[in-house]
Every structure is written in structure tokens, then in C-alpha cells.
Amino acid sequence: MSRHIIDSIEPGSIAEEMELEPGDELISINGQEIGDVFDYHYLIHDEYLVALFKKANGEEWELEIEKDYDEDLGIEFEKGLMDDYKSCQNKCIFCFIDQMPKGMRETLYFKDDDSRLSFLQGNYVTLTNMKEADLQRIIDYKLEPINVSVQTTNPELRCMMLHNRFAGDALKKIDTLYEGGIHMNGQIVLCKGVNDGAELERSISDLTKYLPYMESVSVVPVGLSKYREGLYPLEPFTKEDAIAVLETIHKWQEKCMESHETHFVHASDEWYLLAEQPLPDEDSYDGYIQLENGVGMLRLLIDEFHDALELLEQDMVDEDVPEGMLPDTENEHHVTVVTGKLPAPFLAELAEECERRFPNHHIDVVAIRNDFFGEMITVSGLLTGQDILAQLKELKEAGKLGERVLLPCNLLRSGEETLLDDMTVTDLAEALDVQIDIVGSGGNELLNCMLEI
């Protein structure tokens, strides 16, 4: 069994009040040993705890803790799962990790398929790595939602797509979770000529049977890099393909709205851009339940930006607003916004709106071509430092680079300043001799960064 060593303590938390420190070890809660993060989260959901800790010097502390039922202790452990990660044993035909070049940092090649990460971080799992005991703990502990990487409900086709002869049987675990009252979200990575067309119809139809516990299903196009030698031959979707996919999804959305008052199945933003169709309105996204899969991300960004711009215009006539919270309307400013090919047209429209309201702010949106993974990869989150550097250097040499460069936060590892190819933001800023600011995911943050407020 793994040792549960404290890595950090949240300021103002119960753990800080109890004078716990990094390096201390959690032994048990209410006399029960902790196997992993599932046990931990289940056991701390109580108003009275007796927790046993071992200090770094070997001294044992038995602490009596009174708290609110859902209140956390404020502890981060050295191992996020309080146990070793479960790796994926599948060989999926669409796996992006198999499409990466050699020589990148080792952690990028790790394929996780751990249900605990589904609960903690929203990761999608195939269920092929989940044992009956894992399922029962999810049900007993009510650990939800669980995000399921479905791909298809055709058992034989799923075995082929995941290259795992048990992948079809694993679909039965959805039934177990449904019968146990566990809320789920599903994902279908669509591959042209494989699980689209009639197979997509079948999958959506089958998954609606799990409503209301299966709360949503996203349909996303497979990402294809240029490193596919020896892999299953997959083709990119065309405009006509995207139109057909959207027709299927919209048809099922209408059915689900009539029967369950939810859209249930959602298309990621890429489908609308590829089909050259307008993005749906906010109400179509059921509270942005599949936002992390790129479903409604652009709609939310656009609406938040417009709301922020409207509030800012109101603040401009409000005498009580501190001067530092308003944009400079006198001096000239030039900003370069870095993004991928996919969201670039939408960001350019927002930049133009900003320029019309504040003419002294010049905002250029630059769509970085993904030379590293190949031009079929158009999202901003898979851009590398070397591609950004090479293409921005050309702008700088031409005198067209702004005095500030804005990078989206999804380029970086959480809490760090490292890009996919291990180049850091500092490296990039020094090489370009320019100030670089990281932009959060919200539209208000984008507006504030564009105007430096």
C-alpha cells in the first residue's frame, strides 16, 4: 500500500489549523486505512473525524476534527491519486499519443485510463481497465460523474477501434453504473468511415437509454497529426462530412428535448467551423456540460467578451471606477494575440470590436501554423514553443510584432510555464525580446489582457 505523504497545505484550511505540514503522513481516518483517493474522499465526508498522522520525526498525532459535512481538509498529497496511476492497455486507432514524435518528455507518452482521474479531473475512461471492485466502490461511495470514452456502442466495432478483445464487454459496465444511479458523461471520438454514419446513429440511440444518468454525450472529430506511419489509415473529415454529422446530432437533440428536456448529444466547435455553419446559442449547450471537450467553448468566449465589453463601456462613464481599472485611451498600444487556426477568425472579430471602441489599441490575431504536429491540427492547445517562436520571429523582423504578446493558458501545463516541447514562456519572451502575458480562458480575461487593465 502506498504511503500518503502531504505535499502542501492550503492556507486557512483545517489542516493548517491542525498544524499539519508537508512531509507528514496520513495513516488512517476513523480507524480505517486509506487505499487511495476514493477512500480518502469518502471517509472525510463526515462532520466528525479522528485522523491519525505521522510527523516527519516519527511522532504520531491523533487529531479529532469537527467540520461541515462537505468541507475539505485542505491537503494535497504527493501522489494525486494517493496510489499509482493505472495506464491504458488499449491500442486505439485514434490515440493521439501514438501520433507524437519521439524525443518529447516522458510524461507526454503516458496513457492514463484511471477511473479515479475521471472523478477528480474529468478525464475520460474506456472502462476496460476497471474491475468489478472499482465499479462497486464508485457506486458505494457515490463518486460521480464518471466520464466514459464510448466511441461506439457496437461491441465488435469497439473491440476493433480500441484493439482490445474485451472492449465490447466493457460496455456492460455502463449498465452497472446506470443501475447504481451514477451520473455519467459520454464521449465519441468520430473516425471517418469507421464509427460515423449509421454507427453514430446507433451509438446515440443506444446511449439515450441511459438518460437521465447519462447526462450528456459529446461528438468530437479525431485529431490527426503527421506522425501516423504504421498506424490505422484514417482520413480527415470534409465540409460535407461535417454537415452530415451535424444533421444527425441536431435530429437527436430535437428528440431528446421533446422526451427529456435536454439536448443530450453535443457537437464540438470544430464541426460547426468545418461545416461553415454558425455556432448555436447558449441555451443549446445545457449549461456547457461538455465544455472541456471543446463543446461551446467559442460560444462562451464570445458571449463573455461581449458582456465584459458592455460592462467596461458602462464603467467608462462611472466616476467611481479607479483609473487603473480602465483602459488607456490616449497612448498607442500594439498587441499580438497568438492562437490556433481553428479559433482565429472568431478572435479576430472580437479584436476588431475592441479596436472600434478603443482606436488607440491595435490588436493583431495571429493563427500559428502547426508545423510540429502537422497542419491538420488547428487547436491552440497543441501549439509548441518552436512553432510560435519561428512564426512570431518573422513578424518581429518585419516590424509587425506588438510590444506585448498574449498566449492562451491552455498552451501550458497547469501551474507551470512550460509548453509541449519544453520551451518555457521565459525562453520565448527572451528570444523575441517581448513581454508575454498569459490569458485565462474567460472572455473577460481576454478583453482585460487586450486592453492591459
**Among candidates 283, 447, 270, which has minimal Cα distance to 376?**
270
* Residue 420 CB coordination number (10 Å): 21
Model pLDDT for residues 274-323, shown as the tens digit of each residue: 999 999 999 999 999 999 889 999 999 999 999 999 999 888 887 677 76
- Residues 251-262, mean pLDDT to the nearest whole number: 97
* Residue 444 CB coordination number (10 Å): 16
In this predicted structure, the answer to whether residue 45 has a pLDDT above a threshold of 90 is no
Beta strands 184-190 and 75-77: pairing type?
unpaired
**Rounded to the nearest 5°, which phi and psi values hold at 161?**
-65, -35
Confirm if 185 and 148 have CB atoms less than 8 A apart. yes
pLDDT value for 114: 47
367 or 330, which is more confident: 367
* Residue 322 CB coordination number (10 Å): 7
pLDDT value for 28: 92
Model pLDDT for residues 323-347, shown as the tens digit of each residue: 677 888 889 999 999 999 989 999 9
In this predicted structure, the answer to whether residue 115 has a pLDDT above a threshold of 60 is no
Look at residue 288 and give its three-state secondary structure: coil
pTM here is 0.82
User: Which grid cell sits at 175?
Assistant: 449498465
Confidence band for 385, pLDDT divided at 50, 70 and 90: very high
Count the alpha carbons within 13 Å of 414 in the hemisphere toward its beta carbon: 1
The domain locations on the chain are 4-77, 97-294, 299-451
CATH number of 4-77: 2.30.42.10
Gap between the Cα atoms of 342 and 32, Å rounded = 50
Domain 299-451: CATH architecture, name and number where available: 3-Layer(aba) Sandwich (3.40)
User: Which grid cell sits at 256?
Assistant: 431528446
pLDDT value for 91: 87
Domain 97-294: CATH architecture, name and number where available: Alpha-Beta Horseshoe (3.80)
The CA-based angle 89-145-68, given to 5 degrees, is 125
